[in-house]
Amino acid sequence: MNFVLHGSPVSAGITIGYAHLVSSARLEVAHYEIPAAAVDSEIERFDAALERVRGELRELTGHIPADAPAEFSAFVDLHRMILDDSTLSEVPRDLIRSEHCNAEWALVRQMAGLVEQFDAIEDPYLRERKADVRQVVERVLKALLGHPGPTPSQTSDEQKLIIVAHDLSPADMILFKQHQFGGFVTDLGGVTSHTAILARSLGIPAIVGLHLARHMIRENDLLIVDGLQGVLIVAPDPAVLGEYQLRQSQLELERQKLRRLRSTPATTLDGAPIELHANIELPQDVEDAREAGAQGIGLFRTEFLFMNRRSLPSEDEQFEAYRDVVAAMRGLPVTIRTLDIGADKALDGGTGDAGPNPALGLRAIRYCLAEPHIFLAQLRAILRASQFGRVRLLIPMLAHAHEIEQSLALLRQAQASLAEAHVPYDRGIEVGGMIEIPAAALALPMFMRKLNFLSIGTNDLIQYTLAIDRTDDTVAHLYDPLHPAVLHLVAHTIQSANRAGMAIAVCGEMAGDLTFTRLLLGFGLRNFSMHPAQLLAVKERILRTSLADLKALSARVLRSADGTRTRELIAKLNS
Ligand code: PEP
Ligand code: MG
């Protein structure tokens, strides 16, 4: 059946491919048929996932502190037993063989039977153990999710797979990052959720907030994802398909043309140099940053190093990751943001206790100050990496003067411990703060007195100014970067920093959105940090811009109290 769904566009571009339904490692999974020739490899995939989870549980056992309560190791032992019980480890293999079904489905079907048996048990303690069965199954599903199985559509390079999910966590996206998918579509999510940001960083078309896509689309349906308009076409007719194939090749041509600008300096028509930096999530993203000709890393979201794992990365592991990025940037500045965990970026991939209101809870610097040993290990790792190039340290979600002071005190402590051990580091390391809470934007002198630079996180600034959860598609229509309050805070922060001679950048999604390039230049911004995939398009816009033309119009945008008028003025600015 041919139909069209509308959602929020996440990342520009068009992709055409076949639907691959996935679960977000939760217990709703796709059921699809495995071709006879692929049954053996599907069983191998299942076995490999079991083996991986066995390894995780072994690792967990090895890390149990001596003083941990006895229940803890009993619980890990129980999970190991459940995993090795033939109901979960053997029967799904038989199901895959006899029914030619995918491993996820076989596993969940078995789990359902097992959970029913638990329900019949009278002893309340034993009955509750079904939660452990679910947790073990979730672990195996997660391991399978990282290694999607063959589907009938995965037959050639041209036939791309498009992930269709109800919801995906940022941790899930990191797993998908290792595979070559053509696009992503989800029922839930807002355009500046971290899941969406990661999809954008992959440079592939994606749409979120499609509501019923996961329910309506079947495995292997032919899909067109128009990430520009947020339109998903299911089972298109040949004329529509032809039209989109044409548009797709036009977009590819435009991308190729942009590549020629890689080493052209980003200078406006009236000669003002503009700095364009890249945002990265994982050390390997540094390649994309270099390919896009970024002048530095303006935001390294380090929390992604902490995801999809049961234990925290050690100081040494972190040091190596930071050093690799710093070395790869060959003397260009690398702004490493300290751990911004919490809200939609839960450490364990979203199953932890996030608190009653996660976005307002123990997130980012609040979490780090509550867990100083984690923060100190990260600070030491960043400092150790600082001797391999030019490192800047950026602290997220600051709102209070005492948070700045405590952060700086812990930094001094980390520095002292390194100095004592004669470990070299850059003693002149610059420390900056994210301006992403309205309170911070309204109390700038407090930040400017104590820090060396500022970076505006527009994603959170908008979320907290307008009181809308950036991950919630039901309020996505209220997420408005052009709201007068948002524009006022952004312009005020840029202008105040410029007046005080303090370095200021924007590293939220507004920096990589062409709609706002000229407006931000008009507000006085000279340093943008964005996903590498956006960088050359923003550069091209800058090359065609004269600053002299912007001032008056952007001031008018700032004064406008009427949304329609604001949009007209923006259109004029961009014409
Ligand atoms: C922001 O809030 O704009 C930002 C850059 O940080 P993150 O998107 O990681 O919250
Ligand atoms: Mg933020």
Mean pLDDT over 269-297 rounds to 96
| pLDDT tier, 349 (very low <50, low <70, confident <90, very high otherwise) | very low
pLDDT of residue 208: 93
Tens of pLDDT, residue by residue over 532-564, are 999 999 999 999 999 999 999 999 999 999 999
Question: Hey, whose CA ends up nearest to atom 8 of ligand 1?
Answer: 459
Tens of pLDDT, residue by residue over 493-524, are 999 999 999 999 999 999 999 999 999 999 99
Query: Catalytic residue at 507?
Result: yes
| pLDDT tier, 177 (very low <50, low <70, confident <90, very high otherwise) | low
Interval between CA 432 and ligand 1 midpoint (Å): 14
Q: Provide the 8-state DSSP code for 153.
A: T
Give yes or no for a contact between 240 and 233, defined as CB atoms under 8 angstroms apart: yes
Q: Is the shortest distance between the CB of 540 and ligand 1 below 6 Å?
A: no
| pLDDT tier, 407 (very low <50, low <70, confident <90, very high otherwise) | very high
Which bin fits 20, alpha (ψ -120 to 50), beta or left (φ > 0)? beta
Interval between CA 301 and ligand 1 midpoint (Å): 9
Identify which ligand lies nearest to the alpha carbon of 303: 1
Strands 206-208 and 503-506: unpaired
| Statement: residue 402 has pLDDT above 90 | yes
Q: Which of 20, 79, 166, 194 is catalytic?
A: 194
CA dist list (Å): 444 to 116, 133, 375, 459: 58, 51, 24, 18
**H/E run at residue 172:** helix 170-176
Name 169's Cβ contacts closer than 8 Å, sequence gap at least 6. Answer: 24, 25, 195, 344, 346, 349, 350
| Statement: residue 367 has pLDDT above 80 | yes
pLDDT of residue 526: 98
Tens of pLDDT, residue by residue over 228-268, are 999 999 999 999 999 999 999 999 999 999 999 999 999 99
Identify which ligand lies nearest to the alpha carbon of 398: 2
Q: Is the shortest distance between the CB of 301 and ligand 1 below 6 Å?
A: yes
Q: Which residues of 225-255 are buried (b: 16+ CB within 10 A; e: fewer)?
A: bbbeebbbbbbbeeeeeeebeeebeebeeee
Q: Is the shortest distance between the CB of 508 and ligand 1 below 6 Å?
A: yes
Q: Is the shortest distance between the CB of 303 and ligand 1 below 6 Å?
A: no
Tens of pLDDT, residue by residue over 480-498, are 999 999 999 999 999 999 9
Tens of pLDDT, residue by residue over 66-102, are 766 666 677 778 888 989 988 889 999 999 999 998 8
Percent of the chain whose pLDDT exceeds 90 = 66
Beta strands in 341-493 (DSSP E): 390-395, 430-435, 453-456
pLDDT of residue 370: 96
| Statement: residue 317 has pLDDT above 90 | yes
**Residue at 427: amino acid letter:** R
Q: Is the shortest distance between the CB of 460 and ligand 1 below 6 Å?
A: yes
Tens of pLDDT, residue by residue over 204-237, are 899 999 998 988 998 889 999 999 999 999 999 9
pLDDT of residue 350: 45
Percent of the chain whose pLDDT exceeds 70 = 91
| Statement: residue 429 has pLDDT above 80 | yes
Interval between CA 498 and ligand 1 midpoint (Å): 22
Question: Hey, whose CA ends up nearest to atom 3 of ligand 1?
Answer: 457
Tens of pLDDT, residue by residue over 102-116, are 898 899 888 888 888
Interval between CA 457 and ligand 1 midpoint (Å): 5
Identify which ligand lies nearest to the alpha carbon of 193: 1
Which bin fits 355, alpha (ψ -120 to 50), beta or left (φ > 0)? left
By most ligand atoms within 8 Å of CB, the mutation choice from 198, 301, 302, 456 for ligand 1 is: 301
